[in-house]
Amino acid sequence: MSSSSARLYSVYAKHLPDQPLIGRLVVSCNTNTRSGTSQKMPSFSGAPGESLRFQYDESWLKSGFALGSDVPLTRAIHRPRLGKSSFSFIEDRAISSVNLPVFFDSTQPDARILADAGKLENAALRLPHVEDSLGSLGFECENSPKIEAKPRVRRTLELSELIYASHALERGKAGRAELALLQRALTFPGERPVFSVERDRVPQTLRLRTMNDPIDRPLWGHLALVVAERCGLNTVQSTLEREMGESVWFTTRADRDASGRPLMMLTAATLATVTSSARPLKPGYLAIADILNREGACPTEDLPEAWRRLTFNLMTGGSGDSLKRWQFVRESLGWRLAPAYTFEWNPNETRPGLTIDGRKRLSIPEDALQYAPYFGLTVTEAKQHLMQMRRVFSDWEGLAVDLGADPRDMAYMALFFDEHL
Domain residue limits, the chain: 2-141, 153-252, 265-420
Query: 10 Å Cβ neighbour count for 286?
Result: 18
Q: What residues form DSSP beta bridges with 198?
A: 154, 203
Q: Which of 18-32, 33-47, 121-135, 326-340 has the lowest mean pLDDT?
A: 33-47
pLDDT band at 275 (very low <50, low <70, confident <90, very high): low
10 Å CB burial of residue 297 (0-12, 13-18, 19+) is middle
CA 365 to each of CA 143, 249, 388, 414, 418: distance values in angstroms, whole numbers, following the listed order: 54, 28, 12, 19, 15
Contact 304, 265 (CB under 8 A): no
pLDDT at 127: 81
What is the arithmetic mean of pLDDT over 60-71?
Answer: 96
pLDDT band at 115 (very low <50, low <70, confident <90, very high): confident
Amino acid at 205: T
Between 253 and 28, the higher pLDDT residue: 253
Between 370 and 97, the higher pLDDT residue: 370
- The yes-or-no verdict on residue 187 having pLDDT over 70 is yes
Pairing of strands 2-13, 137-141: antiparallel
pLDDT at 34: 42
Pairing of strands 21-34, 37-40: antiparallel
Q: Which of 49-53, 171-175, 323-327, 392-396 has the lowest mean pLDDT?
A: 49-53
What is the arithmetic mean of pLDDT over 130-149?
Answer: 83
Read off the pLDDT of residues 2-24 as tens digits, 9 standing for 90 and up: 456 788 999 999 999 999 999 99
> Could you tell me how far CA 237 lies from the centroid of its own chain?
17
Per-residue HEC secondary structure of the chain comes to: CEEEEEEEEEEEECCCCCCCEEEEEEEEEEEEEECCEEEECCCCCCCCCCCEEEEECHHHHHHCCCCCCCCCCCCCCECCCCCCCCCHHHHCCCCCCCCHHHHCCCCCCCHHHHHCCCHHHHHHHHCCCCCCCCCCEEEEECCCCCCCCCCCEEHHHHHHHHHHHHHHHHCCCCCHHHHHHHHHHECCCCCCCCEEEEECCEEEEEEECCCCCCCCHHHHHHHHHHHHHHCCCCECCEEEEEECCEEEEEEECCCECCCCCECCEEEHHHHCCCCCCCCCCCCCHHHHHHHHHHHECCHHHHHHHHHHHHHHHHHCCCCCCCHHHCEEEEECCEEEECCECCCCCCCCCCCCCCCCCCCCCCCCHHHHHHHHHHHCCCHHHHHHHHHHHHHHHCCHHHHHHHCCCCHHHHHHHHHHHHHHC
Contact 7, 24 (CB under 8 A): no
Q: What residues form DSSP beta bridges with 262?
A: 256
10 Å CB burial of residue 174 (0-12, 13-18, 19+) is buried
**Hey, which CATH number is domain 153-252, 3.30.200.120, 3.20.20.70, 3.30.2130.10, 3.90.226.10?**
3.30.200.120
pLDDT at 74: 97
pLDDT at 37: 38
Read off the pLDDT of residues 153-180 as tens digits, 9 standing for 90 and up: 998 889 999 999 999 999 999 999 999 8
Read off the pLDDT of residues 83-99 as tens digits, 9 standing for 90 and up: 788 999 999 998 887 88
What is the arithmetic mean of pLDDT over 333-347?
Answer: 92
Between 30 and 110, the higher pLDDT residue: 110
- The yes-or-no verdict on residue 258 having pLDDT over 60 is yes
Read off the pLDDT of residues 25-34 as tens digits, 9 standing for 90 and up: 999 876 444 4
- The yes-or-no verdict on residue 1 having pLDDT over 80 is no
Q: Which of 5-19, 223-237, 247-261, 271-285 has the lowest mean pLDDT?
A: 271-285
CA 156 to each of CA 237, 297, 342, 344, 382: distance values in angstroms, whole numbers, following the listed order: 19, 38, 24, 29, 44
CA 347 to each of CA 217, 409, 414, 418: distance values in angstroms, whole numbers, following the listed order: 11, 11, 10, 11
Q: Percent of the chain having pLDDT more than 70?
A: 92
